[in-house]
């Protein structure tokens, strides 16, 4: 038996459209809880406690995310939203 090694996620707004502000908010809240999570890469070097702590941080971060779906992410962001690396400048 093995662990899934690279779990990716998407962030969407209240209209279910992909959202960089919501991505920023989720990452901000995860970092505030001690977890850097642009994706979830699990290896055998992670203990069960590491994984449990990450799951708890995600649950807490998603509570903020849920409130932001109603109030807007700007209410909770502490800075500017991230932007895609590849974008048009025209």
Residues spanned by the domain of 28: 6-75
Q: What is the pLDDT along the chain (90 residues), one digit of tens a residue?
A: 555 677 888 999 999 999 999 999 999 999 999 999 888 888 888 899 999 999 999 999 999 999 999 999 999 999 999 988 887 877
Q: Give me the number of domains the chain comprises.
A: 1
Q: What is the pTM of this model?
A: 0.85
The answer as to whether 60 is a domain residue is yes
**Greatest Cα pair distance in the chain:** 50
The answer as to whether 41 is a domain residue is yes
The answer as to whether 84 is a domain residue is no
CA–CA separation, 22 and 13 (whole Å): 7
The answer as to whether 56 is a domain residue is yes
Whether 50 contacts 42, CB under 8 Å: no
The answer as to whether 20 is a domain residue is yes
The answer as to whether 80 is a domain residue is no
The answer as to whether 88 is a domain residue is no
The answer as to whether 81 is a domain residue is no
Beta bridge partners of 41: 6
Q: Specify the pLDDT at position 3.
A: 58
């Amino acid at each position: 038996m093995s662990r899934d090694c690279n779990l990716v996620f998407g962030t969407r707004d209240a209209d279910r459209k992909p959202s960089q502000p919501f991505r920023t908010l989720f990452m901000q809240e995860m970092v505030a809880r001690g977890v850097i999570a642009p994706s979830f890469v699990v290896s055998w070097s992670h203990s069960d406690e590491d994984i449990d702590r990450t799951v708890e941080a995600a649950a807490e971060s998603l509570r903020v995310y849920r409130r932001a779906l109603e109030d807007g992410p700007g209410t909770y962001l502490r800075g500017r939203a991230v932007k895609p690396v590849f974008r048009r400048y025209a």
